[in-house]
């Protein structure tokens, strides 16, 4: 926080809602200009963390700082200097596209014209609909309008809570291309997503699960946390392949993975040579196998299963 | 890629549509949909937002009358026998399936009642379901207090309570972690192994690869249909995700 280059700093943040521990000691730092992703499923704590950082919720424990300011004490100043796009549509349905944009500009004491340069790229596809009520827009267009409204006061930090949830694959790609261009303009971006494939678009990511950080690193670096041999096995009978591989005595985990099945071996020195003979005995002699490097999703599941394994004694089922 | 990758004729079809169309005014939401889904098949129904998936699903589940074309589902005609279709299919949607204010046990009893299961059968099924899903400890807790992944597997099981021949799943795995998503797919596989036909939509393109066959809708029409392997090799795409984006970007509808 003393360092001017740190835009977000969270230290030991905890928050409960009744009996539910939404956050159980989250610590992370985000540098100026970073595109930082919080990756995790529904219930991982992403929204709670974001609301605390945006000064909308008080933490029970820990300290949160944004732009060198304290999230509890300096909330007024922080609110002026950040942009927040909540997960649920946050605009005024009864106002038009243009009215929404002007409203947000006015609230922040600026005008649309003053910062139009920043949002032009995003807003241009909304121009033909500027008089349409926001409630009448499609999901993809609402998302673009919400992003425009969050940017209209040229915030130093942009916080986006699951902007691509429920959005189709094409719109998701377009949205990430927009974020890439915003980052080039020097805006620090904190974004959450349940989609593992989006993680590779970030400079750094944090894996969140049940209110804890499972790991923080660059998308490339984080896969180093996957410490066992991983193989891709292919056969047309995917479900049978999964079932049979799970019976292999050295299997740690077996997961369907797009067109193949990812198999993790518990022996550090395993080279996969004893798997084809095993599969042949199951009538899957035609299966192909190759050693592969773990991806981001492999790593996330590996860390989840490791933690589930450690906690198996005091919980029925690890994850929801 | 130009044109359509044709679908194969299916001998034992659970779903069969021929030029099925639905207009809203001048707008062709679904434009001459022709496809067949085999009994026991896992069929992935893909398309960008606004491509016409929801309208097509509504017609196939007997909720919306087509404008033209023909379709039969579980052997029943969509024009003449929509009520019979509803009795012979299961439906699970991300948006609405279970009552949040009821417990898992109450939801099972409620939906079992709707589908006309006898009291004895329902009691037996309820106990069995709660046990196999690992929900016994929360059987009487309000649904709203449970993790999303638990609700999804309960919702899927409730859609299967009346032993339908076909189950429609509308984005069943949205928002959950990758492990939970895969566990859900194992339930789908187990269901298909019992001969139930699964018709599923998803935004996760890796899940498309878990289907026996998929179709990709663009602007109300089927732009591609086939097994994931066929579609990838025909189009020269590395993944269904790449093919999907290629086809969907060629679409002209903005949702």
Q: What is the pLDDT of residues A21-64, one digit of tens each?
A: 999 999 999 999 999 999 998 889 999 999 999 999 999 999 99
Could you tell me how far CA B195 lies from the centroid of its own chain?
A: 15
- Strands A251-257, B76-77: pairing kind: unpaired
Q: What is the pLDDT of residue A319?
A: 37
Which two structure tokens, joined as six digits, stand for B160?
A: 């299967």
Q: How far is B231 from chain A (nearest CA, A)?
A: 12
- Strands A69-70, A61-66: pairing kind: antiparallel
Say whether pLDDT at B1 is over 80: no
Q: What is the mean pLDDT of residues B76-87?
A: 96
Q: How far is B197 from chain A (nearest CA, A)?
A: 16
Name the pLDDT band for A279 (thresholds 50, 70, 90).
very high
Q: What is the mean pLDDT of residues B137-152?
A: 92
Q: Are A304 and A252 in contact (CB under 8 A)?
A: no
Say whether pLDDT at A316 is over 70: no
B236 Cβ neighbours under 8 A, 6+ residues apart = none
Name the pLDDT band for B2 (thresholds 50, 70, 90).
very low
Say whether pLDDT at A16 is over 60: yes
Say whether pLDDT at A320 is over 50: no
How many beta-carbon pairs under 8 angstroms link A with B? 105
DSSP B6: P
Name the pLDDT band for A162 (thresholds 50, 70, 90).
very high
Q: What is the mean pLDDT of residues A224-230?
A: 96
Cα(A38)–Cα(A5) distance, rounded to whole angstroms?
A: 20
Q: What is the pLDDT of residue A229?
A: 97
| Chain A residues touching chain B at CB-CB below 8 Å | 40-44, 138-141, 165-171, 173, 194-197, 209, 236, 238-239, 242, 255-259, 297, 300-301, 304-305, 316-317, 319-320
Q: What is the mean pLDDT of residues B10-21?
A: 89
With a pLDDT cut of 90, the percent of chain A lying above it is: 75
A139 Cβ neighbours under 8 A, 6+ residues apart = A166, A167, A171, B49, B255
Name the pLDDT band for A98 (thresholds 50, 70, 90).
very high
Q: What is the pLDDT of residue B8?
A: 54
Q: What is the pLDDT of residue A3?
A: 45
DSSP A112: T
Residue-wise pLDDT for B52-81, tens only, equals 999 999 999 999 999 999 999 999 999 999
Name the pLDDT band for B255 (thresholds 50, 70, 90).
low
Q: How far is B134 from chain A (nearest CA, A)?
A: 8
Q: What is the mean pLDDT of residues A143-157?
A: 94
Say whether pLDDT at B3 is over 70: no
Q: What is the pLDDT of residue A170?
A: 84
CB burial string A301-320: b at 16+ within 10 A, e below:
bbbbbbbeeeeeeeeebbbb
Chain B, nearest residue to A305 by Cα: B179
Chain B, nearest residue to A253 by Cα: B179
Residues from chain B contacting residue A139 (CB–CB below 8 Å): 49, 255
B254 vs A: CB within 8 A: yes
| Cross-chain Cβ contact B147/A43 below 8 Å | yes
Q: What is the mean pLDDT of residues A105-110?
A: 95
Q: What is the pLDDT of residue A76?
A: 96
Q: Which residue has the higher pLDDT, A95 or A170?
A: A95
Say whether pLDDT at A105 is over 50: yes
Cα(A16)–Cα(A61) distance, rounded to whole angstroms?
A: 10
Mean pLDDT across chain A:
91
Residue-wise pLDDT for B181-190, tens only, equals 999 999 999 9
For residue A95, with 0-12 CB atoms within 10 Å meaning exposed, 13-18 middle and 19 or more buried, which class applies?
middle
**Least confident segment among A226-230, B123-127, B186-190, B250-254:** B250-254
With a pLDDT cut of 70, the percent of chain A lying above it is: 95
For residue A5, with 0-12 CB atoms within 10 Å meaning exposed, 13-18 middle and 19 or more buried, which class applies?
exposed
B27 vs A: CB within 8 A: no
Chain A, nearest residue to B42 by Cα: A239
- Highest average pLDDT, of A76-90, A113-127, B66-80, comes from B66-80
Strands (E), chain A: 6-17, 20-31, 35-39, 61-66, 69-70, 82-85, 157-160, 188-193, 204-209, 212-217, 230-234, 251-257, 260-265, 288-291
Q: What is the mean pLDDT of residues B164-173?
A: 94
Strands (E), chain B: 13-24, 27-38, 42-47, 68-73, 76-77, 89-93, 166-170, 197-201, 213-218, 221-226
Name the pLDDT band for B10 (thresholds 50, 70, 90).
low
Say whether pLDDT at B24 is over 50: yes
Angle between helices B178-193 and B148-159 (to 10 degrees): 10
Name which of A44, A194, A304 is nearest B179 (Cβ-Cβ). Answer: A304
Cα(A65)–Cα(A71) distance, rounded to whole angstroms?
A: 5
Q: What is the pLDDT of residue A236?
A: 83
Name the pLDDT band for A192 (thresholds 50, 70, 90).
very high
Closest CA to B191 of B231, B157, B232: B157
Name the pLDDT band for A20 (thresholds 50, 70, 90).
confident
**Least confident segment among A8-12, A72-76, A86-90:** A86-90
| Cross-chain Cβ contact A167/B203 below 8 Å | yes
| Cross-chain Cβ contact A171/B49 below 8 Å | yes
Instruction: Please tell me whether the overall predicted TM-score, pTM, comes out greater than 0.90 for this model.
Output: no
ipTM more than 0.85? no
B144 vs A: CB within 8 A: no
Q: What is the pLDDT of residue B6?
A: 47
**Least confident segment among A198-212, A305-319, B177-191:** A305-319
Q: What is the mean pLDDT of residues A130-142?
A: 89
Chain B, nearest residue to A240 by Cα: B189
A186 Cβ neighbours under 8 A, 6+ residues apart = A32, A33
Please state, in angstroms and as integers, the Cα–Cα distance from residue A82 to each residue in A24, A75, A135, A198, following that order: 25, 11, 25, 23
Residues from chain B contacting residue A138 (CB–CB below 8 Å): 49-50, 254-255
Name the pLDDT band for A312 (thresholds 50, 70, 90).
low
């Amino acid at each position: 926080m003393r360092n001017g280059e740190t835009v977000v700093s969270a230290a030991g943040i905890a928050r409960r809602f009744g009996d539910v521990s939404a956050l159980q000691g989250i610590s992370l730092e985000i540098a100026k200009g970073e595109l930082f992703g919080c990756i995790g499923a529904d219930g991982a704590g992403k929204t709670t963390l974001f609301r605390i950082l945006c000064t909308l919720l008080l933490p029970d424990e820990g300290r949160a700082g944004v732009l060198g300011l304290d999230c509890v004490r300096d909330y007024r100043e922080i609110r002026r200097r950040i942009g927040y796009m909540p997960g649920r549509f946050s605009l005024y349905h009864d106002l038009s596209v243009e009215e929404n944009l002007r409203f947000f500009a006015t609230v922040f004491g600026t005008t649309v014209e003053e910062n139009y340069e920043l949002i032009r790229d995003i807003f241009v596809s909304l121009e033909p609909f500027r008089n349409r009520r926001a409630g009448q827009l499609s999901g993809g267009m609402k998302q673009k309008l919400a992003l425009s409204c969050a940017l209209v006061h040229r915030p130093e930090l942009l916080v986006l809570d699951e902007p691509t949830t429920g959005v189709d694959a094409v719109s998701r790609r377009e949205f990430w291309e927009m974020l890439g261009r915003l980052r080039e303009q020097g805006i620090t971006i904190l974004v959450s997503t349940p989609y593992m494939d989006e993680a590779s678009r970030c400079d750094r990511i944090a894996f969140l699960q049940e209110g804890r950080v499972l790991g923080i690193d660059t998308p490339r670096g984080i896969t180093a946390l996957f410490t066992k041999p991983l193989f891709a096995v292919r056969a047309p009978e995917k479900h049978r392949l999964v079932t049979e591989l799970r019976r292999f005595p050295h299997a740690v985990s077996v997961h369907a993975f797009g067109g193949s099945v990812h198999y993790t071996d518990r022996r550090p020195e395993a080279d996969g040579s004893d798997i084809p003979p095993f599969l042949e005995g199951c009538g899957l002699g035609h299966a192909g196998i190759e050693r592969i490097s773990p991806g981001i999703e492999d790593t996330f599941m590996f860390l989840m299963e490791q933690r589930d394994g450690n906690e198996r004694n005091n919980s029925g089922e690890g994850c929801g | 890629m130009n044109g359509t990758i044709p679908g194969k004729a299916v001998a034992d079809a659970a779903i069969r549509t021929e030029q099925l169309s639905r207009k809203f005014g001048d707008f062709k939401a679904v434009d001459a949909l022709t496809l067949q889904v085999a009994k026991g098949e896992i069929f992935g129904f893909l398309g960008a937002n606004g491509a016409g998936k929801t309208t097509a699903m509504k017609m196939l589940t007997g909720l919306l009358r087509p404008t033209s074309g023909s379709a039969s589902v579980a052997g029943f005609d969509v024009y003449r026998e929509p009520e019979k279709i509803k009795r012979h299919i299961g439906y699970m949607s991300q948006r609405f399936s279970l009552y949040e204010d009821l417990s898992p046990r109450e939801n099972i009893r409620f939906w079992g009642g709707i589908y006309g299961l006898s009291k004895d059968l329902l009691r037996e099924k309820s106990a069995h379901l709660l046990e196999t899903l690992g929900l016994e400890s929360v059987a009487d807790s309000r649904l709203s207090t449970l993790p999303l992944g638990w609700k999804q597997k309960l919702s899927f099981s409730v859609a299967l309570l009346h032993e339908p021949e076909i189950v429609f799943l509308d984005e069943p795995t949205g928002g959950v972690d990758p492990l939970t998503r895969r566990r859900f797919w194992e339930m789908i596989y187990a269901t298909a192994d019992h001969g139930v036909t699964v018709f599923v939509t998803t935004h996760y393109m890796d899940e498309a690869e878990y289907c026996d066959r998929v179709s990709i809708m663009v602007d109300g029409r089927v732009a591609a249909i086939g097994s994931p392997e066929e579609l990838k090799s025909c189009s020269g795409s590395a993944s269904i995700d790449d093919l999907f984006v290629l086809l969907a970007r060629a679409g002209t509808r903005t949702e």
